[in-house]
Amino acid sequence: MMLKKTLVLVGTILAVARGVGFADDLSSAPAEPALFGESLTDIDERIGRLDDVTVVDAISETAEEAPAPAEAVVELKAEEAQPACDVCQPAGAPPKPWKGLFYDNDFSYIYKNHTPLLGENAKEMQVDWLGCDGSVSVGGELRHRHMNEYNRLRPGGAVRSTYDLWRWRNYIDVRYSDSLRGYVEMLDASIVHEDLPATGIDLNRWNIQNAFVDLKIGNRNCQPVYLRVGRQELLYGSQRLVSPLDWANTRRNFEGIKIFSHGENWDFDAFSTNPVNTAAGHGPLANFDNERDTPDGSRYFSGVYTVFHGQENNIYDAYWLWDREANTPGTGADRSRHTTGGRWQYNRPVKDECCDVARIWHMEVEGGYQFGHEAGQNVEAGFLTAGVGHTWKKVAWTPSFWLFYDWASGDRDPNDGTNNTFAQLFPLGHAYLGLIDNVTRQNISDVNIRLVTKPSKKLTLIGQFHWMDLAEDTDVVYNIAAAPIATGPGKEIGEEFDMVANYQFNPNFGMQVGYFFYWYGSVIENGPNARGDASQFYVQTTLRY
């Protein structure tokens, strides 16, 4: 029955694709070697966005772009427009001046003729006490999401739960030339009408989310080098390992220091921090509800993240991340995991006879090796992601089709003194391993396909399907919070089908509707946590100012 459902859904996706010219264009592709382009997780407009919105954009509200360390410019000269005349052809406002990290927001368009946006008058304001070289910006966001879910792999068991999530963010950004900056952001995250106890990503009342000072300490190839001290969110690369987790009602944050410099060809970040709120793993939640957030002094998260974007159509990431905890909860033992890895993203447009970009190939590969020790055992683990896709720019609805494989190791033998289970660190798992948020990047083998279409400039439709298995049947399933779930025999975790519609009324206000369904496989159906198939529905509205 499960296989039959899978085949029906895949057939439906392919039929829709053919209806918009997807399959026909596939058969007429040139015989030249594959030319790959923008990857699935391009969440930063600086990579030369080829589509108005990507899968991660539309699904997880990270459409507001990643920070400079994550990506780099990829020039696609065939699509570069001539600068608009400010008098006869006014330049329009950027489609999304709000970024994935609000401290990277870009309102530079206000100095040109444009269509006004709500709240822009409070950006880059000149104040007397800072002189001509200083500015002050204030802004924020109000977001609401209604959730209705059934039988997810979450605390509370196999039950239906409906609840409402509210989130309010406000920030003030004070700058003096390029040498000194102070940034403070408040976050209030609340949950109401809940049937089950709140989790660590649902609730965080009236706390300081970001509070840091940037000081220019030098130059590197005519680019500034900064020291950042204080509380800060972190976001790197594809967000598979380090993300503020915008889908959550709360957002992860850390406290510590960072040295960073972002240049024409290279970006470099080095940081040493402590996790702060419950979304970053500091808990329990009861200790933080209506209390002031404090950093976890027993846990350290440090790393070096570099990006090379000096080669056209290519982006290369290389990183080392260190997660150390002096007293691991539940074991009392020290934990020290090092993750070394890299990511390659290749972008290549294909032009038609008029030299316009007609199609785009996509390719992305990311992987890492994890080593160290945990709970008295050595650690040897890893993960790998590989994806290929294609976008048809001149076909109705501009469809994009993707095929991805995600793998993260599991423990081959629980009694051999070596832990082979990959640890997910601080990811945006929601965007990659099923939108229903049942599993995480630990002991997982996931083949998935994704189709993104744009019936109009404001409407984006997303469909995706996942086939999930255990990487090792000697290990268990890990839910989205990395908690182990006792399982039955076999390797099949299940299949998931996701549908999302995102409508952006204007740059300030947008709405999302999503429905996800999960057919559990043998490891759940025949285990102690057996339950019926799972589903989830949500409606979300977001206002930014």
Per-range mean pLDDT, top range of 47-51, 64-68, 156-160, 164-168? 164-168
Which range, of 79-88, 166-175, 227-236, averages the lowest pLDDT? Answer: 79-88
Average pLDDT value for residue range 128-136:
89
Whether 31 shows a pLDDT value over 50: the answer reads: no
Q: Map 182-242 to HEC letters.
A: EEEEEEEEEEECCCCCCCCCCCEEEEEEEEEEEEEEEEECCEEEEEEEEEECCCCCCCCCE
What are the Cα distances from residue 225, in Å, to 177, 213, 315, 440? 14, 14, 21, 36
List Cβ neighbours of 465 (8 Å cut-off, separation of 6 or more).
6, 9, 10, 13, 448, 449, 495, 496, 497, 498
Which range, of 117-121, 283-287, 322-326, averages the lowest pLDDT? Answer: 283-287
Average pLDDT value for residue range 396-405:
97
pLDDT band at residue 7 under the 50/70/90 scheme: very low
Which range, of 274-288, 380-394, 523-537, averages the lowest pLDDT? Answer: 274-288
Average pLDDT value for residue range 489-517:
97
Average pLDDT value for residue range 468-487:
94
Instruction: Give the model's pLDDT for residue 114.
Output: 84
Q: Is residue 284 reached through a cis peptide bond, with omega within 30 degrees of 0 on the bond before it?
A: yes
Whether 80 shows a pLDDT value over 50: the answer reads: no
Fold (topology level) of 2-544:
Porin (2.40.160)
Average pLDDT value for residue range 393-411:
97
Q: What is the pTM of this model?
A: 0.83
Instruction: Pick the more confident residue, 291 or 474.
Output: 474
Whether 113 shows a pLDDT value over 90: the answer reads: no
Cα–Cα distance between 193 and 119 in angstroms, integer?
31
Whether 263 shows a pLDDT value over 60: the answer reads: yes
Amino acid type, 163: Y
Instruction: Pick the more confident residue, 515 or 280.
Output: 515
Question: Whole-angstrom distance between the N-terminal and C-terminal Cα of the chain?
Answer: 48
Instruction: Give the model's pLDDT for residue 200.
Output: 86
Whether 25 shows a pLDDT value over 50: the answer reads: no
Instruction: Give the model's pLDDT for residue 211.
Output: 99
Instruction: Give the model's pLDDT for residue 59.
Output: 55
User: Average pLDDT, whole number, for the chain?
Assistant: 84
For 497, the 3-state DSSP assignment is: strand
Domain residue ranges of the chain, discontinuous segments joined by +: 2-544
Give the angle 522-424-340 at the CA atoms, nearest 5°.
Answer: 130
Which range, of 48-52, 59-63, 249-253, averages the lowest pLDDT? Answer: 48-52
Amino acid type, 256: G
pLDDT band at residue 111 under the 50/70/90 scheme: confident
Which range, of 25-34, 284-293, 428-437, averages the lowest pLDDT? Answer: 25-34
pLDDT band at residue 23 under the 50/70/90 scheme: very low
What are the Cα distances from residue 262, in Å, to 73, 87, 270, 277? 12, 33, 12, 28
Instruction: Pick the more confident residue, 344 or 18.
Output: 344
Cα–Cα distance between 169 and 133 in angstroms, integer?
27
Instruction: Give the model's pLDDT for residue 54.
Output: 46
Instruction: Give the model's pLDDT for residue 71.
Output: 33
Average pLDDT value for residue range 14-18:
41
Instruction: Give the model's pLDDT for residue 289.
Output: 67
Instruction: Give the model's pLDDT for residue 156.
Output: 64
Whether 403 shows a pLDDT value over 80: the answer reads: yes
Instruction: Give the model's pLDDT for residue 42.
Output: 37
Which range, of 56-65, 138-147, 215-224, 321-330, averages the lowest pLDDT? Answer: 56-65
pLDDT band at residue 53 under the 50/70/90 scheme: very low
Cα–Cα distance between 58 and 51 in angstroms, integer?
12
For 463, the 3-state DSSP assignment is: strand
Whether 84 shows a pLDDT value over 90: the answer reads: no
Which range, of 105-114, 383-392, 491-500, averages the lowest pLDDT? Answer: 105-114
List Cβ neighbours of 287 (8 Å cut-off, separation of 6 or more).
none
Average pLDDT value for residue range 171-197:
95
Instruction: Give the model's pLDDT for residue 20.
Output: 36
CA-closest candidate to residue 466, choices 444, 489, 488, 442: 444
Instruction: Give the model's pLDDT for residue 216.
Output: 98
List Cβ neighbours of 345 (8 Å cut-off, separation of 6 or more).
38, 39, 42, 47, 314, 315, 316, 363, 364
Average pLDDT value for residue range 345-357:
91
Instruction: Give the model's pLDDT for residue 180.
Output: 97
Instruction: Give the model's pLDDT for residue 336.
Output: 96
Whether 260 shows a pLDDT value over 90: the answer reads: yes
Instruction: Pick the more confident residue, 541 or 126.
Output: 541
Number of C-beta neighbours around residue 182 at 10 A: 15
